[in-house]
Structure formats: structure tokens, C-alpha cells
Amino acid sequence: MGRLDGKVAFISGVARGQGRSHAVRLAEEGADIIGFDICAQIDSAPYPLATPEDLEETIALVQQRGRRIVAKQADVRDTAAVKAVLDEGLEQFGHVDIVIANAGAIFGEVVPDMEWSAIMEGWQDSIDVMLTGAYTTVGVALPAMMTQGRGGSIVITSSTAGMKAMTGPADSPERALVGVGYTAAKHGVIGLMKSWAGSLAHLSIRVNTIHPTGVNTPFVVNDYMARMLAQVPGGGLQNALPVELIEPEDVSNAVVWLCSDEARYVTGVSLPVDAGILIK
């Protein structure tokens, strides 16, 4: 018996990293999966994003766990495309019980004498993907969740950067402007969570955010992030516990708990999985 037997989960950013890990762990606990990922490059992202091959690997891993999956390429900034993926999953599975708004990336890289248009492109992509994208992912699922009478769990991926600024002193306007879209978006989803937690509680739909420290995924382990962290005093992510990066499964285990009946009375919570970085 799995903790999520009979459940169906809708997950964004499912092709690799935390999204893939969530899909696999939920499948191990008995859930079927509806998922999507852009599987293409966004111009302002300074490192490679997921590919169609990554998505195929996620599909195979879920199926190896004996669960069903509908997973498609879709851009979280395209509401019609996101809704089309969910609708296909609903046609096959009949309901949706869990939403994990996970899609995210770093946008914008500091270079000398940046044009304002490039700075704004990174800002807008950050807000569109991680804040409006979370709004869209949850929003397209709400009609089914609110009318099917099954309750449910919504988990939005924030970050420790959603609870604490992770920047050092800026030595240029570019450094003060580029990258703050990530922090702004990750703070913003807490507002979404608190609003929905209050408005959906009477339907037994619980809404929470999760706040990881650095995770051992391509989001963090890439040349761009290595260059950025090298410029931070002390270097690296300064966790309190003696670990540089946590594993995606560490986050997924917390997500499984939030989505299970073990957390049936947990809503409106910002849950850190942060190796103690927020107490430093």
C-alpha cells in the first residue's frame, strides 16, 4: 500500500531535476502522473534547460514504478498548452488530486554594460515562469479540484530565496538588477499559497509552499552557477548542516508527506528543506 494510492498528480517542470524526482517518488507511493515541461531553451537562461529526451526518461522511470503517466511538452507561460496537457490527463485518469507547481530556472546573467532590454528580459522570464507559471499551473486544475469533491493538495516550489535574500554586495547596477527576479518570484508564490490556503480550505484542498536550499540538479550544477557562486563571499551555499547540496529526493520526500493523509491538517505552511541555511 502506497501513501498516495488512487491519487493523480499534475506536475510542472517534470522532465528532470526536482520535477522528475517528485514524479518518481509520487509514483512509488501509488500516484499516477500528469506532467509537462518546456523541453526547449529560453533565451535568457544562461545554462541548458531540459530536453525532450529528458522528458522521455521521466516517462520511463514512472512506468518502471508500475504507474501511468501522461507527459507532454508545454511552456508554462502558455495557458492553453498547459490546460491541454491537464485535459488529456483528466480524460485518461478522470480526476486530479495533487498539483505541484515546480517549473523554474535562473534567468539572466550579469555581463558588463548590459542593455536594459536584456535586463528586463531576464526579469520578465523569471516572473512569467515561476510566479505567473505557478498561478497558471494551479489555476487550470482548480475547476476539477473544486468540483470533484475529493479535496486535494497543492504544493508550490519556492526556495530559501523565497524567505531570505541570498545576495551579497552589488558592485554595479547590473549586479543589483540581474537575478532578483528569481527572489521576487519565489517570494511571490508565498502570497499565492496563503491566498489559496484560505479560499480553498472549506473544500479540504490544502496549499503549501516548499523551500529547498541548493539541490543537486542541473539547476544548480552547471557552469553558470559555478561562476556565480564563486563571486559570493565564502563561496557555495552556506548550509548549517554539513552538506553542500541536498538531493532532489530529500525535497520529494517532503512533498510526498505534504500530499499524503499524514499532513491532512497542514495548510498555509512554508516548509523549509534547507539543511539549516535559513538559521545562519
Q: What is the CATH number of the domain that holds 131?
A: 3.40.50.720
62 in a domain, yes or no? yes
- What is the rounded average pLDDT of the residues 15-23? 98
For the chain, the average pLDDT equals 94
- What is the rounded average pLDDT of the residues 158-182? 87
Tell me the three cell numbers of residue 273: 528543506
CA distance 43 to 45: 6
CA distance 141 to 43: 28
CA distance 81 to 217: 26
- What is the rounded average pLDDT of the residues 261-270? 98
Exposure pattern of 239-254 as b/e (b: 16+ CB <10 Å)?
A: beeeeebbebbbbbeb
Choice among 47, 135, 182, 265 that is catalytic: 182
pLDDT at 167: 75
> What residues contact residue 180 under an 8 Å CB cut-off, 6+ apart?
123, 167
87 in a domain, yes or no? yes
Contact 136, 82 (CB under 8 A): yes
186 in a domain, yes or no? yes
Counting DSSP H helices and E strands in the chain, the numbers are 9, 7
1 in a domain, yes or no? no
% of the chain at pLDDT higher than 70: 98
pLDDT at 232: 63
Residue 169 has pLDDT above 90, yes or no: no
Q: Per-residue pLDDT tens for 185-236?
A: 999 999 999 999 999 999 999 999 999 999 999 999 998 888 877 766 555 5
Helix residue spans in the chain (DSSP H):
17-28, 52-64, 79-93, 116-126, 133-147, 173-177, 180-200, 223-230, 248-259
133 in a domain, yes or no? yes
Contact 147, 126 (CB under 8 A): no
2 in a domain, yes or no? no
CA distance 153 to 105: 24
pLDDT at 52: 98
How many whole angstroms from its chain centre is CA 8? Answer: 17
Point out which residues pair with 73 in neighbouring strands.
Answer: 37
Residue 277 has pLDDT above 70, yes or no: yes
CA distance 145 to 108: 35
Q: Which has the closest alpha carbon to 46: 95, 126, 105?
A: 105
Point out which residues pair with 167 in neighbouring strands.
Answer: none
Residue 30 has pLDDT above 60, yes or no: yes
pLDDT at 177: 86
Residue 68 has pLDDT above 60, yes or no: yes
pLDDT at 279: 93
243 in a domain, yes or no? yes
Known catalytic residue at 47: no
pLDDT at 237: 65
Contact 10, 96 (CB under 8 A): yes
80 three-class SS = helix
67 in a domain, yes or no? yes
Q: pTM of the full predicted structure?
A: 0.96
Q: Is the dihedral of CA 222, 220, 86, 251 positive or negative?
A: positive
Banded model confidence at residue 59, pLDDT cuts 50, 70, 90:
very high
Please give the tally of structural domains in the chain: 1
Containing structural domain, residue 24:
8-270
Tell me the three cell numbers of residue 91: 480524460
Point out which residues pair with 263 in neighbouring strands.
Answer: none
